[in-house]
Amino acid sequence: MKPAIVHPRPLSPHLGIYKPMATMVMSILHRITGAALYFGTVLLAAWLIAAATNAEAFGWISWFFGSWVGRIVLFGYTWALMHHMLGGVRHFVWDTGLGFDKHFATKMALASAAASVTLTLLIWAFALLVL
Length of the chain measured in residues? 131
For another protein, the closer CB: 10 or 103: 10
Contact yes or no for 37/80 (Cβ under 8 A): yes
User: In angstroms, what is the minimal distance from the CB of 45 to another protein?
Assistant: 5
Distance CA 56, CA 124 (A): 26
DSSP state of 10: P
For another protein, the closer CB: 1 or 100: 100
Site map (CB under 8 A) of another protein, residues 91-120, x = contact: xx--x-------------------------
Q: 108 in helix, strand or coil?
A: helix
User: In angstroms, what is the minimal distance from the CB of 74 to another protein?
Assistant: 8
Asked if 18 interacts with another protein (CB under 8 A), we say: no
Helix, strand, coil percentages (3-state) for the chain, rounded to 5, are 80, 0, 20
User: In angstroms, what is the minimal distance from the CB of 105 to another protein?
Assistant: 19
Of 131, 92, 103, 124, nearest in space to 23 by CA: 103
Q: Which residues bind another protein (CB under 8 A)?
A: 31, 34-35, 37-38, 41-42, 44-45, 48-49, 51-52, 55, 58-59, 62, 78, 81, 85, 88-89, 91-92, 95, 123, 126-127, 131
